[in-house]
Amino acid sequence: MDIEYLRKNNLILLECISGSKAYGLDTPSSDTDIKGVFLLPKHEYYGLNYTKQVSNESNDIVFYEFNRFMELLYLNNPNILELLNSPKEAVIYKHEYLSEINSELILSKLCKNTFGRFAISQIKKARGLNKKIVNPMEKERKGILSFCYVNFDQGSIPLLQFLKRNNWSQEHCGLVNVPNMQNVFGLFHGKDLGFAGIAKKPDSNTVSLSSIPKGSKMASLLYFNKDGYSAYCKEYKSYWDWVKNRNEVRYKSTESHGKNYDAKNMMHTFRLLEMAIEIAAQNKVNVKRQNRDFLLGIKSGQHEYDDLMIMADERQRQMEDAFKSSKLQESPSFDLINEMTFKIRNKFYTQERFQ
CATH number at residue 340: 3.30.460
Q: What is the dihedral of CA 273, 279, 282, 284, to 10 degrees?
A: 130
Q: What is the dihedral of CA 61, 65, 67, 69, to 10 degrees?
A: 10
The answer to whether residue 167 is domain-embedded is yes
Residue ending a domain, choose from 163, 192, 226: 226
Closest CA to 130 of 302, 269, 304, 4: 304
- How far is CA 306 from each of CA 123, 126, 206, 222, 300, rounded to the nearest angstrom? 12, 11, 39, 41, 16
Q: In terms of domains, do 9 and 66 share one?
A: yes
Q: In terms of domains, do 113 and 124 share one?
A: yes
Encode pLDDT of 130-189 as tens digits: 555 556 778 889 999 999 999 988 899 999 999 999 999 999 999 999 999 999 999 999
Length of the chain: 355
Residue type for 165, please? R
Q: In terms of domains, do 252 and 125 share one?
A: yes
CA distance 340 to 74: 11
Number of domains in the chain: 3
CA distance 185 to 219: 11
Report whether 112 contacts 319 (CB < 8 A): yes
Q: Please name the helix (run of DSSP H) or strand (run of DSSP E) that holds residue 220, with its range, or none.
A: strand 220-224
Residue 339 sits at the vertex; the CA angle it makes with 284 and 66, to the nearest 5 degrees, is: 70
DSSP label of 216: P
CA distance 195 to 212: 8
The answer to whether residue 234 is domain-embedded is no
41 strand-pairing partners: none
Residue type for 9, please? N
Q: Containing domain of residue 267, as a range? A: 107-136+247-329
The answer to whether residue 92 is domain-embedded is yes
Q: In terms of domains, do 127 and 255 share one?
A: yes
Q: In terms of domains, do 90 and 176 share one?
A: no
Q: In terms of domains, do 95 and 5 share one?
A: yes
Q: In terms of domains, do 175 and 32 share one?
A: no
- In order along its 355 residues, the chain shows pLDDT tens digits of 889 999 999 999 999 999 999 999 988 888 899 999 999 998 888 888 889 999 988 888 999 999 999 999 999 999 999 999 999 999 999 999 999 999 999 999 999 999 988 787 776 666 555 555 556 778 889 999 999 999 988 899 999 999 999 999 999 999 999 999 999 999 999 988 889 999 999 899 999 999 999 989 999 999 999 999 999 999 899 878 877 776 555 554 544 454 556 778 888 889 999 999 999 999 999 999 999 999 999 888 888 888 888 998 899 999 999 999 999 999 999 999 999 999 999 999 998 777 6
CA distance 157 to 150: 6
Q: In terms of domains, do 114 and 35 share one?
A: no
CA distance 203 to 220: 24
Residue type for 96, please? E
CA distance 236 to 234: 5
Q: In terms of domains, do 126 and 261 share one?
A: yes
Residue ending a domain, choose from 194, 226, 258: 226
Q: In terms of domains, do 262 and 289 share one?
A: yes
The answer to whether residue 241 is domain-embedded is no
The answer to whether residue 79 is domain-embedded is yes
The answer to whether residue 29 is domain-embedded is yes
Closest CA to 159 of 219, 232, 233: 219
The answer to whether residue 159 is domain-embedded is yes
The answer to whether residue 242 is domain-embedded is no
Q: What are the φ and ψ backbone dihedral angles of 168, each rounded to 5 degrees?
A: -105, 155
Q: In terms of domains, do 71 and 219 share one?
A: no
Q: Under DSSP, is residue 33 helix (H, G, I), strand (E, B) or coil?
A: strand
Q: In terms of domains, do 98 and 125 share one?
A: no
Give pTM, 2 decimals: 0.66
**Percent with pLDDT over 90 in the chain:** 66
